[in-house]
Amino acid sequence: MGAQLRAIRARIRSVTSTAKITRAQELIASSRIPRARRRLDSARPYATEITRAASILVSHGTHMNHALLNRKPDTSRVAVLLMSSDRGFCGGFNHNVLRQGDALAALLRGQDKEPVFYLSGRKAVDFYRFRRRRTEREWVGLSDHPTYDVAAEIGQTLVKAFDMPTREGGVGEVHVVFTEFVSMLTQETRVRRILPLEIEEREIGGRAEGSASAPLPPYEFEPAPGAVLDLLLRQYVRGRIWSMLLESSAAEHAARRQAMTSATDNAHELIGRLTRRANSARQAEITTELTEIVSGADALARKGDEE
């Protein structure tokens, strides 16, 4: 009985140490969520305005045959960018991204298209390396605190691959799998096609259907709308990647906080059950010891009576 009690107490100590770790991870994630949300909120107006400017340019009807707007005749190769995390302890965050990536790859292969993978985050990189899957480019060490420089590098890499003919190793489409931050308790995995671009055409001076926003102003572009469109669309792609990285970062911290909160609660619940088992084992041990003492006293008393 003593060995069982020692084993239970050792497990209680182990679970208590685990609870301290998960609690610390929960507090760290909680402290990082507000900063990630502030960065996301700061980037959203920029993304809104650059999308608006690009829509106005397209609505001018100039340079509508831009390479980033046109569908390629050959889409046999398709780029897929997966945005995962660099660290674990975030529940199903990475699993959902990888599962959606596999589902998208299966869909593309069913359309006779070859998916070409670009990976962001160490978890996706480790997953693909372990299974010896081929990848084009990998970026790690940025999920906690993504920077615009890395987003620009990713965007430039994808645009370069899209500009290149498919027969020369380029791609005909670019899709991104990322996690959107909806709330502290909800994070949803999204799949978006960013190339060729899909920009809503809007009537200059009019309103978008169902929109209560102010009418769009008739911009004047220098040096020319075509030149501005070329620069703006490439900046638009980098802005989309930047926004998705920020969404994914905020969602990662929220998912980690939620997972660590559940882990801490489960650890405390397990400690309670183990404590009750330890008390029961200790009580049984005490009862056994008392029984042995009483039995020994009775034996001595009978021996004295016999003498």
Domain span at residue 279 reads 2-24+261-295
Q: For the residues of 257-301, what is the DSSP string, one character each? A: HHHHHHHHHHHHHHHHHHHHHHHHHHHHHHHHHHHHHHHHHHHHH
Judgement on whether residues 9 and 129 belong to the same structural domain of the protein: no
Please write the tens of the pLDDT for every residue from 228-275. Answer: 777 778 888 898 899 999 999 999 999 999 999 999 999 999 999 999
Number of structural domains in the chain: 2
List the chain residues with pLDDT less than 70: 1, 55, 57-68, 70, 198-221, 224-226, 305-307
CATH of the domain at 282: 1.10.287.80
Closest CA to 143 of 24, 29, 258: 29
Together in a domain, 255 and 265 = no
Task: Find out whether 93 and 249 touch, Cβ atoms under 8 Å.
Answer: no
- The distance between the two most distant Cα atoms of the chain, rounded to a whole number of Å, is 123
CATH number for position 191: 3.40.1380.10
Cα 200 to chain centroid, rounded: 28
- What pTM, to 2 d.p., does this model score? 0.81
8 Å CB contact between 79 and 158:
yes
Q: Are 15 and 295 in contact (CB under 8 A)?
A: no
Same structural domain for residues 107 and 117? yes
Report angle CA 60, 63, 67 to the nearest 5 degrees.
135
The verdict on residue 48 lying in a domain is yes
Which amino acid does the sequence have at 263? Answer: A
Spatial distance between the Cα atoms of 212 and 54, rounded to a whole number of angstroms? 20
Identify whether residues 255 and 267 lie together within a single domain: no
183 and 150 in a common domain: yes
The answer to whether position 300 is within a domain reads no
Instruction: Kindly state whether residues 116 and 146 are assigned to the same domain.
Output: yes
Looking at residue 43, its pLDDT comes to: 87
Residues 6+ apart with CB under 8 A from 160: none
**Residue 104 sits in the same domain as residue 6:** no
Distance between CA atoms of 44 and 65, rounded to whole angstroms? Answer: 28
- Residue 265: half-sphere exposure toward Cβ, Cα within 13 Å: 6
